[in-house]
Amino acid sequence: MLRWVRQQLGFDPPHQSDTRTIYIANRFPQHGHYVPQKFADNRIVSSKYTVWNFVPKNLFEQFRRVANFYFLIIFLVQLMIDTPTSPITSGLPLFFVITVTAIKQGYEDWLRHKADNEVNGAPVYVVRSGGLVKTRSKNIRVGDIVRVAKDETFPVDLVLLSSDRVDGSCHVTTASLDGETNLKTHVAVPETAVLQSVANLDKLVAVIECQQPEADLYRFVGRITVSQQTEEIVRPLGPESLLLRGARLKNTKEIFGVAVYTGMETKMALNYKSKSQKRSAVEKSMNSFLIIYLIILLFEAILSTILKYAWQAEEKWDEPWYNEKTEHERNSSKILRFISDFLAFLVLYNFIIPISLYVTVEMQKFLGSFFIGWDLDLYHEETNQRAQVNTSDLNEELGQVEYVFTDKTGTLTENEMQFRECSINGIKYQEVNGKLTPEGFSEDSPDGNIHSLMKEEELFLKAVCLCHTVQINADQTDSADGPWHANGIASPLEYYASSPDEKALVEAASRVGVVFTGTTGDSMEVKSLGKPERYKLLHVLEFDPNRRRMSVIVESPSGEKLLFTKGAESSILPRSKSGEIDKTRVHVDEFALKGLRTLCVAYRRFTPEEYQEIGKRLHEARTALQQREERLADVFNFIERDLELLGATGVEDKLQDKVQETIEALRLAGIKVWVLTGDKHETAVSVSLSCGHFHRTMNILELVQHKSDSTCAEQLRQLAKRIKEDHVIQHGLVVDGTSLSLALREHEKLFMEVCKNCSAVLCCRMAPLQKAKVVRLLKTSPEKPITLAIGDGANDVSMIQEAHVGIGIMGKEGRQAVRNSDYAIARFKFLSKLLFVHGHFYYIRIATLVQYFFYKNVCFITPQFLYQFFCLFSQQTLYDSVYLTLYNICFTSLPVLIYSLFEQHVHPHVLQSKPVLYRDISKNAHLGFKPFLYWTILGFFHAFVFFYGSYLLMGEDTSLLGNGQMFGNWTFGTLVFTVMVITVTMKMALETHFWTWINHFVTWGSIVFYFIFSLFYGGIIWPFLHTQDMYFVFVQLLSSGSAWFAIILIVVACLFIDVVKKVLYRHLQPTSTEKAQMYSNRVALSDEFIALQPLSRARNQLSKISLLRQVQVSTAWTPCAASQMGKQHAHLLEECWND
């Protein structure tokens, strides 16, 4: 029992050995002394709380906040000693804050539980008791045999037992794990591959021994022992036998596999970072400000205590006739009396710490987060998906981002390749209506039968159709008539490829008349213009990153031996001896400038003697035991020479809409973009160029394919030196996963120096945890920049959880990224609106909210401190206890809350079209020490004006009131409080730029509510109150004309200086934000101006303004203003206002 408890708490892992033994179908040995190993269940957990730990864990997290812990101490002090105010004044707000926060965080975690339950409750089929049983994913146990059908996702990590294919192979895409969309082939061991039915699998007696779970996606070591009659056959198991959770079955009807790793022990889950509480920079600033205010509070309390005893040093003040001490007070310890008085002053001034600040911030974050979901600009109509907020605690962090880390596949791209152009024999072609048309020629002929191809065109297309690793959907190749209908027109074939480029090229060839129809044994079948041809596949020279090409050697129907090669132009053109080499090179450069991915295609004919020599060399290299890779490379180079160039292809990896504009906008906003992808080097660089992450004029530096620390360090030094020498040029860095591991091991500082001096960084061949390490590296650097990670697959989860802000893309790679993110959007382009508009608004709102709260509490408590100088530091309170409790909860809370929800200091269109405005709020500019000091000094200044203004105007006039009564203590305190409530509310009104009816209602309504409440509270004798010091005080105060004059005079005196400062600064030293405010105000007023113009002039202005709005006036305000279009927009704007 004790061990179980320790395991549940995470202190005692359930397995201690280095390996695990799995009995397939859970057929354990029958001997009695066998004890089964304990394994994790198959539940995925992304939530933070459980029913059992919610209360203690949530309370612990809340009391980590300085203000909450402080008010808990104050509340306990009020319970223990005699203090000037009731414990309710501290206890009630604290209880309210803790309860509201707990409800909000509990609701958010309930949403995570709900998402987890959807995954854990997904239906699956397992083999039990001789049949297929439908159950839930969470019920799968290690050792269960699971059936997975085509296009389904693997629910656990499985060792493949069999598939519907005779050889026991299946094809899998791991896009959601490592970002690669190519098909990977997995194979079962021969002994289990033949067991293709449930009945046969149920009879299987086998044991798997394998390593304990680890995060490496590409490593798996194990063995399977199959018992057949009297013998046991042992077979090795490697990564080719392991099907990972999150991967998807393709091109295979069904497979059976045995569960080896389940739940949080699957490789996908091990690549998640553990869920941690993210805290925004604003919250950290709040805690710093609270500590400063605690110091102010302690200073005031200590000073008041010392002055009290200094005053009481005179005997007449120590024990006046009207306040004689008791015997116990005379005999009590002076130290205890000093501590007691200090604590009493602490309680008296404790409201300088704004307890309601936290609950207002929580409400602002929670309610404000709904605006993201309601924003129609973030709604994707095609997929019917709107933006989603999973964690509202980080709303303002969206306005502070300095680095964006983005995945490539499915995030920047649509994950779709499209054939665009090709060059054949020195002539450029485009595909028009399913026909290859030379550039410059128009295709006027009507669509009819398949047209004829020239000899060079046909050979080029055959090379494309034969030199690849494409596979065809098994359902189509198995059909009787093949993929052709009776009328001779091809039905669309479903291709699967190891490279998306190959798939796009083969599909394009099939559209123009040369169709790859599949492989049979060692033969490749092609239909050229409807005529079937069969080529015998003799050898495949596999692609490798050093050669950057792949080749096939085939035997044509006429018996001729041919080599077809395709690869990067740098590896094909130098090896070509004939063909239109120069023209093709020019075309390749033109394709690349358009952002297309380019490949060159060439071929070679072999004589029988040459082929015999090649076959002999290949056999020797492939059977060599020593230096096999080097010998194969030499043979491949020998074969792939003296080529005849056929042409080149240009394929576009279809980018998502407006990716280039979004990345450019991020740059203008001062945000650096890093692309982290699991894809290969060439593909990643090509997409970076096409999406604008790398510019054509940028100097691309490379740190790739390093195998040792020394070479990596040397390359880093060279790169750093090169950057210093060419500091004028923009640099882009490309680094791969292997080199990154070496760089981070011992040369982290040098690597960071190189990265920070580069305008753009591309990391390729990255494992999921490496992505998280890169994010952590930037996040923990001395500058402590705010980071944002965005991705769409399970391979991005660690990165998303590590960054300050994690954003999931609702793409084609499952929902893991969305479930573990803080925010989810449907497309990458929505990131600009999310940061530049929502992030900007949230940050400005909460920055003002936080500082306004400190300001109004300084205004509130400083008069209380000043009053002690006039009452012999007797701890007499200036305000009634009801006013003390309701000041922050009722009288001044709603205006700032509504401001923090609706404020728009600049029009949203202007913010989005002027990304440079984002720089104005970066690095926590509005919550720095200077703004904080300004608001604090302003609070003290207003407090002095409240107190001494009231004292000078009213304090010495003893017959001020209309009934001749003296102006007493409670009347003076109420006057100060009334002036204060009006002033701080009007101050909030001065800060508001965007007025709605709700703002008007709560601003003026708060002042009216205060007056009505005070009249009722002081005008009626309430039977449940023990004392009622405020009875008729407020009514008498308002009956005095002098009091009204004093209120108006003091309020105007307080706010006049603030208004003058704002006017002077806006006209003499306006910030870019203030300029944008003036501009957006003009645009907003333009519609009203038009209504007052003559009809012809109104039409003219309306057309100009509509044009300005269509382009969102972006170019008139960005660095592009120098462009012709920018000048045109600026001219239109000037002309419009001149009219």
Q: What is the DSSP string of 521-532?
A: TTEEEEEETTEE
The CA-atom distances, in angstroms, between 205 and each of 28, 121, 227, 233 are: 10, 29, 6, 11
Place of tokens 């006017």: 1063
How many residues in the chain? Answer: 1139
The CA-atom distances, in angstroms, between 504 and each of 653, 667, 857, 1017 are: 10, 32, 66, 79
Distance of alpha carbon 487 from alpha carbon 574, whole angstroms: 45
Q: Which of 407, 501, 653, 736 is catalytic?
A: 407
Taking a C-beta distance cutoff of 8 angstroms, is the pair 423, 583 a contact? yes
The CA-atom distances, in angstroms, between 148 and each of 9, 132, 239 are: 34, 11, 18
Q: What is the DSSP string of 964-1030?
A: S----HHHHHHHHHHHHHHHHHHHHHHH--S--HHHHHHHHHHHHHHHHHHHHHHHS--TT-S--TT
The CA-atom distances, in angstroms, between 297 and each of 72, 194, 518 are: 16, 80, 81
Distance of alpha carbon 250 from alpha carbon 184, whole angstroms: 9
Q: Is 527 exposed, middle or buried (0-12, 13-18, 19+ CB in 10 A)?
A: buried
Is 1058 among the residues known to form the active site?
no
Other CB atoms closer than 10 Å to residue 986's CB: what's the count? 17
Q: What is the edge-to-edge ordering of all strands in the sheet holding 145-149? A: 131-136, 123-128, 145-149, 254-261, 157-163, 242-243
H or E segment and range at residue 602: strand 597-606
The CA-atom distances, in angstroms, between 509 and each of 468, 485, 580, 603 are: 13, 18, 21, 17
- Long-range contacts of the stretch 961-965 (C-beta < 8 A, 24+): 961/1036, 961/1037, 961/1039, 961/1040, 962/1036, 962/1039, 962/1040, 963/1036, 963/1039, 965/1036
H or E segment and range at residue 462: helix 455-466
Other CB atoms closer than 10 Å to residue 733's CB: what's the count? 23
Tokens, residue 706 = 């390093």
Rounded to the nearest 10 degrees, how much is the dihedral formed by the CA atoms of 908, 909, 915, 916?
A: -80
Distance of alpha carbon 1139 from alpha carbon 1132, whole angstroms: 11
Distance of alpha carbon 1060 from alpha carbon 1068, whole angstroms: 12
Other CB atoms closer than 10 Å to residue 670's CB: what's the count? 15
Tokens, residue 849 = 């909210």
Distance of alpha carbon 882 from alpha carbon 1016, whole angstroms: 13
| Rg of the chain in Å (alpha carbons) | 38
Tokens, residue 986 = 């009007």
The CA-atom distances, in angstroms, between 874 and each of 304, 308, 748, 869, 969 are: 10, 8, 61, 9, 14
* Crossing angle of helices 281-311 and 66-80, rounded to 10°: 30
Taking a C-beta distance cutoff of 8 angstroms, is the pair 141, 41 a contact? yes
Q: What is the edge-to-edge ordering of all strands in the sheet holding 183-187? A: 183-187, 169-173, 248-250
Sign of CA dihedral 386, 390, 393, 399: negative
Best CA proximity match to 544, nearest among 676, 705, 737? 705
Taking a C-beta distance cutoff of 8 angstroms, is the pair 831, 825 a contact? yes
Tokens, residue 782 = 């001395």
Active-site residue list: 407
